[in-house]
Structure 1
Amino acid sequence: MSTPRAEHEAALALLAAVPYGRLALTREALPHMAVTRHIVTPDGHLILRTHKGWDIHRSADGAVVAYVADNTASGQPEAWAVQLTGTAYAMTPTRAQRMRFGEQPAAADGVPFEPVYLRIEPGYATSYRVSGLPQ
Structure 2
Amino acid sequence: MSSDDPTSSADQQLAFELLRRADYGRVVASMRALPFLAVARHIVVGGQILLRMHKGYGYHQACVGSVVAYGADNLDGASARDGQWTVQCVGLCEAVEPTNAELELFGPSPHFADGELFDPVYLRIEPQVTTVHTLHTGHDRRLQRVRVR
Q: Residue 103 of structure 1 aligns to which amino acid in structure 2?
A: P
Q: Residue 26 of structure 2 aligns to which amino acid in structure 1?
A: R
TM-score, normalization by structure 2: 0.84
Task: Indicate yes or no: 2:42 matched with 1:38.
Answer: yes
Aligned length, in residue pairs: 131
- Residue 67 of structure 1: aligned partner: 70
Instruction: For CA contacts below 8 A with separation 6 or more, give which structure has more relative contact order.
Output: 1
- Structure 1 gap ranges (5+): none
Distance 1:73 1:89 in 2: 29
CA contact (8 A) 1:25 1:64 kept: yes
Q: Residue 123 of structure 1 aligns to which amino acid in structure 2?
A: Q
- Residue 51 of structure 1: aligned partner: 54
- Residue 94 of structure 2: aligned partner: 89
- Residue 28 of structure 2: aligned partner: 24
Offset of 1:44 from its aligned partner? Answer: 1.1
Structure 1 runs (4+) deviating above 4 angstroms are none
- Residue 15 of structure 1: aligned partner: 19
CA contact (8 A) 1:8 1:124 kept: no
Distance 1:76 1:38 in 2: 23
The RMSD of aligned alpha carbons is 1.2
CA contact (8 A) 1:23 1:68 kept: yes
SS in 2 for 1:119: strand
Q: What do the CA deviations read for 1:6-38 (whole angstroms, capped 9, x no partner)?
A: 211111110011100000000011100001000
SS in 2 for 1:116: strand
| Farther-moved stretch of structure 1 (4-13 vs 82-91) | 4-13
Query: Which of the pair has more CA radius of gyration?
Result: 2
TM-score, normalization by structure 1: 0.93
